[in-house]
């Protein structure tokens, strides 16, 4: 499998600072989006530190991912590949939390983190927070991640309806963040990749303005065109938050 990607981030229409961060590496097959939070530009520091740490950790441990890409599907190899990605997120958590302890202006900072690591015919996801990863297959967009938000939890428990969730003033209150504590629970996933698949990683500044049935039409524009279009759509619909889109196509 070959991967082709593009990523863009934009401050949006309302914010003064862009506290989102992202990275793409088609050769490594690694894609990351982070949405930082915290005053005095601390969110910007948290998101960039998280992205850099994940990139460095996965790059150093890529041999485990390579084994899966080369066809080693033993239980131990799969477990180790997933562990590398999850450990990278935990390392980011430790780094962001540690930085916050040494600077009063950065205390309480944190970030979401959505990670997609490609291993040949397979992919691994790691998720903390409410940024998202979508799989677009046969013109159908499906989320590969779950939001770690108060509203998502209420919805899952049957406390509120979909309509109530859409109107809730608490829909952006996250229940997990990288760096808010020394350790965070990470959701991981493992899935089979098919030729012509596409993926969208995005912050809530984008997915808050999109319906899932709109995604496939934009993805058809190719990674660069789609990323540009996604930013435009979010800004044209209000742009109340920072906006980040990473689009990956499989060949």
Averaged pLDDT of the chain: 95
**What pLDDT, on the 0 to 100 scale, is given for residue 123?**
98
Residue 41 has pLDDT above 90, yes or no: no
CATH superfamily of 16-135+146-197: PPM-type phosphatase domain (3.60.40.10)
DSSP, collapsed to helix, strand or coil, labels residue 114 as strand
**What would the mean pLDDT of 191-206 be, rounded to a whole number?**
97
Residue 39 has pLDDT above 80, yes or no: no
CA distances from 64 to 16, 81, 183 (A): 41, 5, 23
pLDDT band at 152 (very low <50, low <70, confident <90, very high): confident
The rounded distance, in Å, linking the Cα atoms of 103 and 42 is 10
Beta-strand relationship, 198-202 and 140-143: unpaired
**What pLDDT, on the 0 to 100 scale, is given for residue 217?**
95
In degrees rounded to 5, what are phi and psi of residue 14?
-115, -30
The rounded distance, in Å, linking the Cα atoms of 66 and 214 is 34
- Measured in whole angstroms, the distance separating CA 92 from the mean position of its chain's CA atoms is 14
Digit-coded pLDDT (tens) for 158-177: 998 888 888 888 878 899 99
Digit-coded pLDDT (tens) for 57-69: 999 999 999 999 9
Per-position DSSP letters for 54-89, written without gaps between them = HHHHHHHTHHHHHHHHTT---HHHHHHHHHHHHHHH
Digit-coded pLDDT (tens) for 202-225: 999 999 999 999 999 999 999 999
Helix (H) or strand (E) holding 248: strand 243-250
**What pLDDT, on the 0 to 100 scale, is given for residue 155?**
85
DSSP, collapsed to helix, strand or coil, labels residue 46 as helix
83 neighbors 119 (Cβ within 8 angstroms): no
Q: Report percent pLDDT > 70 for the chain.
A: 99
What size, in residues, is the chain?
A: 251
39 neighbors 65 (Cβ within 8 angstroms): no
CA distances from 249 to 4, 62, 139, 240 (A): 5, 21, 13, 28
The rounded distance, in Å, linking the Cα atoms of 251 and 238 is 34
The single-letter DSSP state of residue 155 is H
> Which residues are CB-neighbours of 49 under 8 A, at least 6 positions away?
92, 95, 96, 99
pLDDT band at 110 (very low <50, low <70, confident <90, very high): very high
The rounded distance, in Å, linking the Cα atoms of 180 and 50 is 12
Q: To the nearest 10°, report the CA torsion of 249, 51, 215, 220.
A: -30
pLDDT band at 107 (very low <50, low <70, confident <90, very high): confident
């Amino acid at each position: 499998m070959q991967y082709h990607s593009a990523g863009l981030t934009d401050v949006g229409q309302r914010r003064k600072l862009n506290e989102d961060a992202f990275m793409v590496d088609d050769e490594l097959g690694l894609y990351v989006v982070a949405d930082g939070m915290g005053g005095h530009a601390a969110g910007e520091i948290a998101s960039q530190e998280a992205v850099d740490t994940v990139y460095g950790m996965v790059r150093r441990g890529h041999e485990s991912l390579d084994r899966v890409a080369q066809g080693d599907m033993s239980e131990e190899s799969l477990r180790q590949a997933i562990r590398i990605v999850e450990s990278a997120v935990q390392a980011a958590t430790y780094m962001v939390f540690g930085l916050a302890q040494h600077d009063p202006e950065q205390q309480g900072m944190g970030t979401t983190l959505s990670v997609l690591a490609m291993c040949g015919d397979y992919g691994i996801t790691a998720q903390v927070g409410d940024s998202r990863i979508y799989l677009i297959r046969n013109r159908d967009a499906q989320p590969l991640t779950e939001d770690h938000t108060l509203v998502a939890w209420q919805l899952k428990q049957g406390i509120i309806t979909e309509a109530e969730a859409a109107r809730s003033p608490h829909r952006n209150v996250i229940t997990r963040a990288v760096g808010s504590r020394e350790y965070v629970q990470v959701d991981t996933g493992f899935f089979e990749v098919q030729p012509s698949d596409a993926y969208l990683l995005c912050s809530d500044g984008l997915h808050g303005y999109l319906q899932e049935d709109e995604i496939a039409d934009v993805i058809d524009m190719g990674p660069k065109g789609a990323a540009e279009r996604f930013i435009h759509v979010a800004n044209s619909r209000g742009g109340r938050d920072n906006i980040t889109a990473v689009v990956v196509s499989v060949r």
